[in-house]
Amino acid sequence: MISAPRSPWWTRHVHADRRPALLQRNRLRGAVRRWFEDRDFLEVETAALQRSPGNEMGLSAFSTVLHTADGRETPLYLHTSPEFAAKKLLAAGERRLMVLGPVWRNGERGALHAPEFTMLEWYRANEPYEQLMRDCAALLALAAETAGAKRFRFRGREVDPFAEPERLTVAEACDRFASVDLLATVSSGGETDREALAAQLRAAGIRQAPDDTWGDLFTRILVERVEPAIGNGRATILMEYPAPEAALARRSARDGRVSERFELFACGVELANAFGELTDAAEQRRRFEAEMRERERRFGSRYPLDEDFLAALAHMPEASGAALGFDRLAMLATGASRVEDVIWTPVPGGDW
């Protein structure tokens, strides 16, 4: 049976239904800004147009062309995150900063995804990434208090937003929920043993494909066994991601097999991704180039590296930073069923 299309979001009765949640979104935005201002963060606005949209293999960007007065053309992209620009500001001397604004990701639309959405990013120079865990817990409670919500609920799952989040390492989660010894397949130098991990997945009854990489197998464990089991009753901070999945995070000084990276989950929803930031430009370049080679292998395209960003890393202080999906947080706080229910004017082309 084909369901009838929704009336346009601007239809009076649809807008009237959506308006209470949208007003709650506004109140939450104001509360978040005040929370950071009270802690001496500087709110900054970063340019949306960048030479590189980011260099994570799985992200797809919107592209455009800058035309100069003398007829030259420069390809640019709408950023998928304000991260590169924010870190350049850290290199310039800022110490605590936050960004609350739109980002764009192509090919992503659904209950938890929109092609244009609002990202909250914040950075702390010379502070450990464990502080970001405390920040995340405080923001969950702030969202609930602002919306007057005692519980967050989504698709049959719920959490107490005022409870201290569970802290669970990725290795502990893989062992507990999949009986997989993940770190046995990662060396102290970060090299991986794909066949050893594949054998463990077969024993655990987790499906796999012949061309799956180690990273693909790791993702299957997360998606099929770990993520469905965490963020219930209270939020979960899933931390110490394996070094091959470090992205822009530095490796742990305690164990070279893992990185200073965590993600925040509530009601099965990934809300935030945080790093103890990598400041080694050579290592960051190596990771970016590996990601772009894999993107070209899979999708036939790659994005340029932001050489200005790599140069700035040499001047960036030790720092920690987090990115939180503001629309997802607003969705949970208001009880909405999808992120576009808390976005004032959704991007055309959806099911409105």
DSSP 74: E
- Residues 6 or more apart whose Cβ sits within 8 Å of residue 138: 35
Q: Rounded mean pLDDT of 168-187?
A: 97
Q: Name beta bridge partners: 153.
A: 158
Please give the Cα distance from 306 to 285 (Å, whole number): 10
Where residue 126 falls (left for φ over 0; alpha for ψ -120 to 50; beta otherwise) is: left
Burial class (CB in 10 A: 0-12, 13-18, 19+), 112: middle
CA 265 vs CA 138, 152, 157: distances in Å: 14, 12, 12
DSSP character at residue 50: E
Percent of the chain with pLDDT over 90: 91
Enter the pTM of the model. Answer: 0.95
**Whole-angstrom Cα distance, residue 249 to residue 258?**
10
Mean pLDDT throughout 117-131? 97
Contact predicate 312/51, CB 8 Å: no
Confidence of residue 350 (pLDDT cuts 50, 70, 90): confident
pLDDT in tens, 39-75: 999 999 999 999 999 998 888 999 999 998 888 999 9
Residue 192 has pLDDT above 60, yes or no: yes
